[in-house]
Amino acid sequence: QNIFTVCFSVGYSVVALNHVIDFKEKKQEIIKPVSPSELFPSLPIVQGTSKRIKVLTRLTLVVSDPSHCNLLRSTSANIRLYDIIAVFPKTEKLFHIACTTLDVDLVCINVTEKLPFYFRRPPVNMAIDRGIYFELLYTPAIKDSTMRRYTISNAISLMQICKGKVSSQSENKPLELRGPYDVANLGLLFGLSEGEAKAAVSTNCRATMLHGETRKSACGVVYTVKKPRKVEEEETAVPACKKAKTQA
Amino acid sequence: RGPAGRGMAAAAFERRVLRSAAEHHYLRVRLELPDGGARPNAAQFKQLVVTALRELHGEVGAALPVDVLTYEEKTLSAILRVISSGLVKLWSALTLLGFYQNRRCAFRVLQTSPFLLALSGNSRELVLD
């Protein structure tokens, strides 16, 4: 609860509640996500605008074994209730599978240790073509100087391979959260250009949200905005028509 | 409708565009120290900023010319001035600072601008009805 007040005060307009499932423990079930309206009776307003903050739900799957991916293919109703799905692969083969065939929106990269596998260009390019973004946690860089070095070096190698299609993520404690512009500045440290760094916090995140909606609807998403002058004509504001792969 | 304007020579205008010409950048920051311990005074605050720079960017970073223009101990907020080329270094160093005297802390950068006057108004604090 505390984190959210901080989030709102710092200037974010959309927040996703993350629920992590680790398959190494036995018998994890995917539970229904807690609906945001239960947590906050009234959402505060984004700074400087008159809209309310949007809260989404997100699921992160920590996979270390190919059999864990079966869960994504199953027609469990609870998975469909999450807005964004992210996967955290632990081995190179799983990374390859996640980039190429799995139906997810984000691939998380662990930055706190020396990666056990190198990124190769073909699966990364395929992931970008499918609209999947990569994700980095920036909180370890705040805690400890060794972690800071690992975070920065992993982030730089990620940037070199994936041409900047990255979004960022924070962790649990309210003091470890940083504002959106601060995080965009960190992107400059990791080797992104200024436009890419700002996109990492804004455009790419929005693209991920739309990708999640596309996945839910199985067809495509078209956002329309009414032009103020001609009322009958509608114009697509964000043409995000992507066909999500329908799972057998 | 006579040739009133044509008798005069057309005024000559020259357009100059200055990009990144400001010498300094100004940042309004606030330090968040949630535990109710002793608050740093101005000198300690400057020391903290220099320490942050040293931790992230080393001795060269610590040597970056940073000035604390104002500091309020009650709210722990300050206005910093830095050479424009050092803005990214300073900002990233402040973002990644986690501890002050082994106490958890966080820097929140509220406003940043190449003009000091721009720091006087904050559009995020506007309440829109």
Return the residue matching tokens 């009805």. B129
The sign one gets for the Cα dihedral A66, A156, A121, A209 is: positive
Residue of A nearest to B96 (CA): A142
Alpha helices in B41-86 (DSSP H): 42-62
For residues A100 and A81, the answer to whether their CB atoms sit within 8 Å is no
Domain of A158 in residue numbering reads as 3-22+31-216
Give A-chain residues touching B82 at CB under 8 angstroms: none
ipTM above threshold 0.95: no
CB nearest to A48's CB, from B96, B97, B123: B123
The torsion angles phi and psi of A170, rounded to 5 degrees, stand at: -120, 180
The confidence score (pLDDT) of residue A38 equals 53
Q: Which residue has better confidence, A82 or A30?
A: A82
Flag whether A50 is in a domain. Answer: yes
DSSP B119: G
For chain A, what percent of residues have pLDDT higher than 90? 0
Average pLDDT over residues B106-128: 81
The confidence score (pLDDT) of residue B3 equals 46
Q: Lowest-pLDDT range, A23-32, A62-71, A214-223? A: A23-32
Instruction: Read off the pLDDT band of A10 (50, 70, 90).
Output: low
**Shortest distance, CA B102 to any CA of chain A (angstroms):** 11
Q: At what angle do helices B87-95 and B42-62 cross, to 10 degrees?
A: 120
CB nearest to A142's CB, from B32, B98, B125: B98
B108: contact with A, CB 8 A cutoff:
yes
Overall fold of domain B26-120: Alpha-Beta Plaits (3.30.70)
The confidence score (pLDDT) of residue A244 equals 41
pLDDT digits 0-9 by tens, A140-186: 777 777 778 887 888 787 777 776 677 777 666 666 677 778 878 88
The token duo for B43 is 């000198």
Average pLDDT over residues B32-46: 84
The confidence score (pLDDT) of residue B50 equals 92
Residue of A nearest to B55 (CA): A145
For residues B66 and B81, the answer to whether their CB atoms sit within 8 Å is yes
Closest among A125, A55, A65, A59 to A90, alpha carbons compared: A65
Give A-chain residues touching B126 at CB under 8 angstroms: 48
For residue B29, give every residue at least 6 positions away whose Cβ sits within 8 Å of its Cβ, in sequence order, or none. Answer: B77, B78, B79, B80, B94, B107, B108, B109, B110
For residues A166 and A159, the answer to whether their CB atoms sit within 8 Å is yes
Res A94 pLDDT > 50:
yes
Give B-chain residues touching A144 at CB under 8 angstroms: 98
Flag whether A244 is in a domain. Answer: no
Q: Identify which of A12-16, A202-206, B50-54 has the greatest average pLDDT.
A: B50-54
Pairing label, strands A133-137, A106-109: parallel
Alpha helices in chain A (DSSP H): 2-10, 36-39, 70-73, 77-80, 92-100, 121-130, 140-143, 145-162, 180-189, 194-201, 203-217
The H or E element that residue B94 is part of is helix B87-95
Helices vs. strands in chain A: H and E counts, helices first: 11, 8
Closest among A200, A151, A94 to B98, alpha carbons compared: A151
The confidence score (pLDDT) of residue A40 equals 57
The token duo for A106 is 């984000």
B109: contact with A, CB 8 A cutoff:
yes
Q: Lowest-pLDDT range, A20-29, A161-170, B69-78? A: A20-29
What distance in Å separates the CA atoms of residue A81 and residue A36, rounded to the nearest whole number? 12
CB nearest to A48's CB, from B34, B55, B124: B124
The H or E element that residue A169 is part of is strand A166-169
How many CB contacts within 8 angstroms connect chain A with chain B? Answer: 53
Instruction: Read off the pLDDT band of A190 (50, 70, 90).
Output: confident
pLDDT digits 0-9 by tens, A98-141: 777 777 777 777 776 666 667 777 877 887 777 788 877 777 77
For position A168, which CATH number holds?
3.20.20.140
Give B-chain residues touching A182 at CB under 8 angstroms: 91, 94-95, 109
Flag whether A109 is in a domain. Answer: yes
Return the residue matching tokens 């946690």. A137
Res A29 pLDDT > 60:
no
Return the residue matching tokens 């391979």. A161
The confidence score (pLDDT) of residue A221 equals 56
Flag whether A203 is in a domain. Answer: yes
Please state the domain count of chain A. Answer: 1
Best A9, A182, A198 residue to mutate vs chain B (most B CBs within 10 Å): A182
Flag whether A199 is in a domain. Answer: yes
Instruction: Read off the pLDDT band of A247 (50, 70, 90).
Output: very low
Global confidence as pTM: 0.73
Q: Which residue has better confidence, B59 or A238?
A: B59
Average pLDDT over residues A202-215: 76
Please answer yes or no on whether A143 and B55 come within 8 Å at the CB atom. no
What distance in Å separates the CA atoms of residue A83 and residue A140, rounded to the nearest whole number? 26
Give A-chain residues touching B98 at CB under 8 angstroms: 142-144, 176
Res A240 pLDDT > 60:
no
Please answer yes or no on whether A185 and B97 come within 8 Å at the CB atom. no
